[in-house]
Structure 1
C-alpha cells in the first residue's frame, strides 16, 4: 500500500527555497466551480425535459398506487389486517406528493431563483479572485508581495470551491472536514484513501468518493500557461472500477424489493415460470418498459437477487490484468482517436474486448457491444490500432484483435 499523501502545510506559491529544479515558482492547481455553475444554468433552461421526466415518474407512481389499492381490496376479503399494504400506500402517496411539489417548483422557477440567490455571492467572489490570479500569473517576475497575494487567492478560491460544492452537490465530501468525518480510510478494506484526480480512491477495492483534489503541484510557469477554461476531472479509473464492481454485484446502490417484484411480474406476463431463464437483455427490456432506466447498471445484481445466482467473481490476478490493460491503452487511444473526439471508448465495449483477449469469452457476453453498426465500426478501427501497437511492446498478454462485425 502506498503511503498516504501528506496535507500541504507550505505556501502554495513560494520563492527561494520553494523553487524547483527549473527555477520556477511552485503553485497548486484548483478545479473551477464555474463549469458546474454553467451546467446548473443549462439545466434550468431545459425545463421542458425535466418536467417530461417527472411526468413519466408521476404516471408510474400513480399506476403503482392504483395497483396497491387493488391488492388491498382483494386482501381485505380474506384478511381484515392490511397494515403492510397500508404502509406501502402511505409511502407511495408521499412519493406522489413529493413529485408534484417538485413539478410545481420547476414550473414556478423557484428552484432557479433559490439557486441564484444562494450562489451569486460565491460565484462573484470566485470570478473576482480568478481574474486577479490571471493578472498576477501574467507577470514575468513576481515580487514577494505578489507571491503572497497569489497564496491568499489560491486559499480563498479553495474555500469558495469547497463551500459551493458542499452546498450544491449532494455527494460531495468536503476535504476540510474529511478527517473529522473519519473518511481518511476505506471502511470496507481499512486501507487509507489516496487522492487521485478529484476522488478519494481505495487502492484495494477501488471505492471512490468525489472530492476536490487540491494537492497537485504546478510550476509558476505552468500556471502562467494554464488553460482557464472551466474543467472538472473525468476520472476514467473510477468508472472502470465501478463497472467491475457492478459485474461482481458489489455496487453500493440498494435495489428495493419492489423493483425486483416488478421485474418478476413482467416475466410472469411473458409466461416465464423458471426465473433462471432471465437474461440481461430481457431484464433491460422490462426496466425500459417500466421507466426504470436508472437501474440499467444494476441488471446483473437484479438477476442474482431474483434467481439466487451467485455473483461473478474475478480473481485478483484477472482484475489486476484488466486494470493494467486499461492503463496501457490510454496513450494509444489519444494517438489514434479521430480528430475532435473527446469521449473515451465505451466501457462495455472495452471490457468485452479485454475478456476476449484474456480468453474469458464466457464473461465478455455480459458486456454488450454498441447496437449501431457505424459506431461499432468506428470503435473497432480505433481499438485495432491500439492492439497492434501494444502487441509489439507487451508480450505478457496475447494482444489479439477480435472484430465485432
Structure 2
C-alpha cells in the first residue's frame, strides 16, 4: 500500500491556512476521561493508601495488602542492574554519564552583589526538596526517560526522587529498574495511572507528597498532571512527538526517511515534516518512505502517522525553510544541510536542534547528553527542554544598609503614596533619616 504524503508549497497563496490545518491538533480532554481522573484524584486525596490499593487492583490487576508491598527496595534496583544483559548495562551507563555531564553545566549557583550604599542584593538558588518521576510501564517502558528525568533532578540537588511505575499483572521491567539504580532514584513504587499522580501530589500514608511531578504518561496521566498543577509543579503538558527536517537535498534520502519514521513510530498522532528547496529530493524521500516502510516493525503506526499528519514542504531556499520552521516551532529540528551553523542563526523556535547530516534525532533520545523532554505543539515558542533549572527555585535576596534604606525609602514613599498605599509608604519612611 503506497503512502501518499501531503505536499505543501510555500509559494502558494493558501500556504498559511494549509500549514495551520496540518499543525492543528485537538488537545482537549475527553469528558469521560476528565471525570474519571477527578474521581480517582479525589479518592486518593481523601482515602490515601486504601484508594491506591483499590485502583492498583482494578487497573493493574495487583492484589496486595499494603502500599509498602508495592515499593521496590534499593537492593532490588541493584539486582536489576546486575541481571540485565551486559551490553544494555554498558549502554545505560554510557548514556547516563553523557546526560549527567551535560546537565552539570546547567547547574545554577546563588549570587550576590553590593551597591554603592552597601546594600546587598542577590539570588539564592535552592533545589526542590522532593521530586516525583512518572515512568510508563507495560509495553511502553522507557529506561531513557528515567535517565532524562532523574539525573537533572539529582544534579540540581533534589534530596529525594520518588519514582512511580505501573507493573500490570506484576510484570516488572528490569531495564527501567536498572536505569533507576544508575540515575540515583531514591524510592520506587510500582503504582501507575492517575492514582500514582494523585499519590505524588497529595501524599498518602506511605507515598510522600512531592514538590514537582515530571515524566510522560498516557491520557489519564497527562490529565491528572493537568488537574494537580498548582498543588504541585509539573514539567509540561506534552502533545504528540514531532520532527521537522530541513534538508538541502544532498543527504541520502533513505536517511531522511528513517529520521521521519523515528518519530512517526511513536504513535499515530506523531508528526513528521520535511522541508526542502529541492523538489526532486522531496520526491526521492517519498520513494524511500514507500520502499522502507514494509521493513518496519511498527509499519501500521508509521503508515497512519505519515498519511494523516506528515508533510513534504517545498520552499524557495533555506532561509524560507527557517521561516517556516519558526512558524511551526518543532519539538525536534534537524538541520541536514552543508552549513548548519549558518542556518542556525535564522532558527528562533525549536526544542532541540540537530546539526548536520550525521546527527540523527534518535541520538538525542538516548545518549547525546541534552534532555529529550522537549516542548511540543508549538510551545517551543516560549518553553525550554527539561533541565536542572526545572528542579531549582530562586529566592531574591535584599539587604539594605541604613544609607540605602534612607535613599530608596524616599523613592518607595513617593510611589506608595501615588498608589494610595499609606502603610507601605510609612513603613519605608520610618527608615528615612530626619534632615
TM-score > 0.5, shorter chain as reference: no
- Quick one: higher RCO (CA 8 Å, sep 6+), 1 or 2? 2
Task: Please tell me the TM-score bracket, short chain as reference.
Answer: under 0.3
Structure 1 or 2: more helix by fraction: 1
Provide the TM-score with structure 2 as the length reference. 0.22
Provide the TM-score with structure 1 as the length reference. 0.23
Structure 1 or 2: more strand by fraction: 2
